[in-house]
Amino acid sequence: MKTIKGAVLPITKEITQFIKNWLAQHIKNTDFTYKGKMPKLYAVPDPFVWDASFAVQYPQMDEEHKPLFQCVEELKTRGDDAELLASCLKSYEDHFVHEERLFTKSSLYPAEEAYQHINKHNAFLSTMRGLKTPVPSSWIDYASNWLTQHIKNTDFRYKDKMPHPVADPYVW
């Protein structure tokens, strides 16, 4: 037997045994390839503020990340403020453009990672652009979790792979 096509209830012992064997082989041959590669789930800070655990070691990126946290935190209590929402969207858009410009210029940051990173930014911005006031608490929870996981699981991957500013003229 190579398939369960045509199986009828009650499921026979032969089909049950086939499914158990298939599942065991699938886990051993497919799922184990993910071992150690799945992103870690990090705790979302409350209050939602940037701290040193989010440092990507590029001072300008770290400074740009701080207001992204502040926006989400302020939307918790001012979710009906359309100007705040628009300002937050602009902060996210500007930061993503700047960050993408840096990592796409890098010869050390793999192109496929850059592509995935940009897609993550675009997906987040799509949710944000679809918002209207009052901002739902479910989106604030989503944004808090997204930014936490994104910085620590995605942005951290560009550490030591983006250009650092170099003094001009460079002095030995």
**Could you give the CA distance from residue 157 to residue 49 in angstroms, rounded to a whole number?**
21
pLDDT score of 8? 75
Reported as a single tens digit per residue, the pLDDT across 19-29 is 899 988 888 88
Q: What is the CA radius of gyration of the chain?
A: 23
| Burial category of 36 from C-beta neighbours within 10 Å (exposed 0-12, middle 13-18, buried 19 and up) | exposed
pTM of the model: 0.77
pLDDT digits (tens, 9 = 90+) for 38-90: 788 999 999 999 999 999 989 999 999 999 999 999 999 999 999 999 999 99
